Amino acid sequence: MYNVDKILVPLDGSENSLRALDLAVFLAKRCNAKIICLYSVVIIPITEAQMATPIQFQIEEEKYARKILEKAKNLVKQNSIEFSQVINFGNAGYNIVKYVKNKANKVDLIVIGSRGRGTIKEIFLGSTSNYVLHKSPVPVTVVK
């Protein structure tokens, strides 16, 4: 029998990522599982001509990440589910898979939104969810 003790929910503040969190809460209640929310802050390459802009963007994005994670924490705690959060920097898909592949994190399931805030979109799935779906060593549920 398959046990689900830890559910990873990557968030970006999009409607689909928040729907994924709702589903994760539903599943966590039934499985008595913990929820880990992960937010990957985008890092824009810095050129000499644009020193302030990418750094300012990263600062604003990190503030936004903390705001979204606080909302997630409140929702999860209201449902009496154990909650933890992770903020990392860089490519979201890569960071999600790297987090899951780390055996110390013991993630059993990923619940991810199908399309986030990114500007590049694939036909059926967002590029991040598509990457995670194909690279993850654990089951992935994609929420539309």
Spell out the domain ranges in the chain: 6-143
Please give the model's pTM, rounded to 2 decimal places.
Answer: 0.89
Strands 34-41 and 140-143: unpaired
* Predicted local confidence at residue 47, as pLDDT: 59
* Predicted local confidence at residue 45, as pLDDT: 65
* Predicted local confidence at residue 77, as pLDDT: 97
Give dist(CA 92, CA 41) in Å, integer: 8
Mean pLDDT by 10 residues, the chain (144 residues): 93 94 98 97 66 72 96 98 96 96 98 70 64 97 94
* Predicted local confidence at residue 50, as pLDDT: 55
Give the CATH class of 6-143: alpha beta
